[in-house]
Amino acid sequence: MQIVTFETLPSTQLYLVEQVKCRLVDLPLCVVAEKQSAGVGSRGCAWDSVQEGLTFSFAIALSALARDVPRQSWSVYFGFLFKQSLQTLGQEVWLKWPNDLYKGTCKVGGIMTQIVHENLICGIGLNLQDAHYGALGALDKRPLLEVFLAQVEARLKWQEVIQAYRSEFSAHHRGHYFHHNGIKVFLDQARILEDGGLQIGDRVYYEAR
């Protein structure tokens, strides 16, 4: 996958979405920004710039990805692959359902995905150094990016990903919650379904809003 780096962009995600909508780029493509001036996160929230971080988005045709991934669970899929990539480089992180990266009790990153013209666009932000937000610490960014993109293109099957994620889910999620329609939903009694959904009692959730 080609990697293009910009010194600064308002948002790697918005940039790639516009480029793909207008069919101005060849895919697959990864766009990295050393700094973002108007980064976006999930639920339309702003993703604040930090002192040092890794911010990138990539676009790839759905036909070039694993065929068995449920369309509503791409953030879980790529979030787990990115977590694994960090762990191969010695970083102890975990994926909070559905799209947040944590080190211990501190959020250090996030994942967002959207589909445009049957292409998948995924944006990831990882905090490395900052005085005000949770951060992972010093890290060589290029090897991490290359390891992760290689995993993306390896087309790991959804069943392998979801089984691994389900096996470690309960070890990390006690005491945590997500927001749904402005309400905190606690994860202590949650279980992950085969399609990546989250079941709590008789309710099933597919994304945090």
- pLDDT, mean of residues 180-207: 91
Tell if the pTM clears 0.75, that is, is over it.
Answer: yes
Band (181; pLDDT cuts 50, 70, 90): confident
- pLDDT of residue 20 exceeding 60: yes
Q: What is the pLDDT of residues 125-167, one digit of tens each?
A: 999 987 666 788 889 999 999 999 999 999 999 999 999 999 9
Q: What is the pLDDT of residue 85?
A: 98
In the chain, pLDDT over 90 holds for what percent of residues? 75
d(CA 66, CA 155): 5
- pLDDT, mean of residues 169-188: 88
Angle between helices 74-88 and 158-173 (to 10 degrees): 80
Band (207; pLDDT cuts 50, 70, 90): confident
Q: What is the pLDDT of residues 77-124, one digit of tens each?
A: 999 999 999 999 999 999 999 999 999 999 999 999 999 999 999 999
Q: What is the pLDDT of residue 129?
A: 84
Q: Encoding tokens for residue 181?
A: 């329609």
Q: Minimum mean pLDDT among 1-10, 34-43, 50-59, 101-110: which range?
A: 34-43
Residue 16's region, left for phi above 0, alpha for psi from -120 to 50, else beta, is alpha
End-to-end CA separation in angstroms for the chain: 31
Beta-carbon count within 10 A of 21 CB: 12
Q: What is the pLDDT of residue 28?
A: 98
- pLDDT of residue 188 exceeding 60: yes
Return the bridge partners of 115, or none: 120
| Identity of the amino acid at 70 | P
Which CATH fold topology does 2-169 show? BirA Bifunctional Protein; domain 2 (3.30.930)
d(CA 57, CA 88): 21
- pLDDT of residue 47 exceeding 70: no
- pLDDT of residue 74 exceeding 60: yes
The single residue listed with the structure tokens 């005000």 is: 132
Beta-carbon count within 10 A of 117 CB: 13
